[in-house]
Each structure stands twice: as structure tokens, then as C-alpha cells.
Amino acid sequence: MPINAPALVRPGQDPNLATLIEHLPCEIDCPFTYATLDKRTLALSNFLSSFPLAWQQQYCGKALHRVDPVVIHGIESVAPFPWAEAFSRTPQRRHSAFDKLIREFSLRDGYTFVVHDPQQRMGLLSLFNREQNPHFQNQIQRVKAALQLALVAFHSGINARPLQKKTTEQPLTVQEHTVLGWVAQGKSYNEIGCICDISVRTVKFHMANVVNKLDVHTAKQAVFEATRLGLA
């Protein structure tokens, strides 16, 4: 089951994307992506990108951020890093759909900046060497400090806004988030049980709790509501 959120927009249609562009150094004219993730659950929010829309649809629709080596490496990083570093350190996380997307859009050379906040959120700013410019890495190095400051300022600003009121006052547990995430990706309860090394009965128990906490009636409705709220 594909995840329908966050909403995808073309450059110029989202004022937040325009604001981010204003934050970036004028030397930066390559495609970029910003995202906020909950480090505990990998729930994705505030997704803004000037990458091709077809890439955005596949990446978000299949929740590929959950297997993206750049995201996984970013959780453990405090310093900016080239994509090659992330891919070399997380080979065990490779995923067929992700690899296919990388090949299709030739997303092999890039650089990512990270920021971590007290709410256990991570902001990621990734820049893509679309033109295969041999001087790309050197250009990033020259404005590295400015890019990091831009990310910190933008992340602080966009996440300072009041959060949308949830339909429930009961927060989901880590296991409930995990089960919900796999259900959102279309996994069966049997598959989730094998992935999480728990019984099918336990999977159903966690999903029933999610349904109750989100005040819906079915697992499908729970996925839709969680997606709308940025929980999946």
C-alpha cells in the first residue's frame, strides 16, 4: 500500500520551498531535497524537493526513505557527508526498489547536511550533482559552513510552527509505529511478524492499538489517518 503523504509539489508552488531557496548560498544551483524525520520511527514530514517529480512520487510513495543509506547514515552523523560515505557504510540496507530508483535517475553523486533537534527530529538537506560536475565536491566545500547554517535556520523555522492537533492524546509506542510503518508499505501480518520477530497475534495486538488510538475502525483507515498526521 503506497503512502500518499507528504504532498509533492513542483518548484515554485510551495512557499516553504521558496524560503529554503532563499536560505541557500547563491553558489548553489543544483537540485536539492529537505526533509524532517522522527529519528525514533522514521516518520517523514516537511518533505521539500527540487528533484524530478517522478523521483519524488516513487521515493515517497514506496517510503524508500526507510531504506535510504543517506537517511540511515544521517541519523548517526553530526557532520556533513558525501553520499559515497553513506553508501559504503550501509550496504546491508540496500533495497531492490531503492537501487532501481538510483539507477533510473542516476542519483550517485551528492552531499548531505544534517541537523538534530531536542524533539528527536532530524533535518536532512541533500544536494545532487545532476550535471556530473567534476568540481561539485570542491564547490560544496567552499560554501560548507554557509550550507550548514542555512539548514539550521530553515529547520528551526519550519519546525517552530504549532503542530497540527492529533486525533488522539495517546502517543503511539515505538512498536506500534514500527508495525504501522510496515502495514503502510503493504506487508501482511505474517510478513511483519517475521520481520519484527514477533507473533502474528502480537502484530494484530499492536495494530488494534493503533486503530483505537487514531479513533478509526480499520487498519486501512489507520494508515490513511496516520499518513495525514505525519505519523507514517
Domain ranges of the chain: 15-158, 174-228
Per-residue pLDDT, averaged over 46-56, amounts to 87
Q: With 0.75 as the threshold, say if the pTM is over it.
A: no
Dihedral sign of CA atoms 184, 189, 190, 193 in order: positive
- Rounded percentage of the chain residues whose pLDDT exceeds 90: 32
Q: What is the pLDDT of residues 97-109, one digit of tens each?
A: 888 998 998 888 9
Fold of 174-228: Arc Repressor Mutant, subunit A (1.10.10)
pLDDT for residue 82 = 96
Residue 168: pLDDT band (50, 70, 90) is very low
110 - beta bridge partners?
128
Closest CA to 207 of 166, 175, 232, 162: 175
Fold of 15-158: Beta-Lactamase (3.30.450)
Do 15-158 and 174-228 show the same overall fold?
no
Task: Give yes or no for a cis peptide into 6 (omega within 30° of 0).
Answer: yes
Which residues fall within 8 angstroms of residue 227, CB to CB, at 6 or more apart? 3, 4, 5, 184
pLDDT for residue 214 = 84
pLDDT for residue 166 = 42
pLDDT at 119 over 90: no
pLDDT at 147 over 50: yes
From the number of C-beta atoms within 10 Å of its C-beta (0-12, 13-18, 19+), residue 38 rates as: middle
Q: Strand locations in the chain, DSSP E? A: 32-38, 44-49, 81-82, 110-116, 121-128
pLDDT at 180 over 70: yes
Angle between helices 219-228 and 200-213 (to 10 degrees): 50
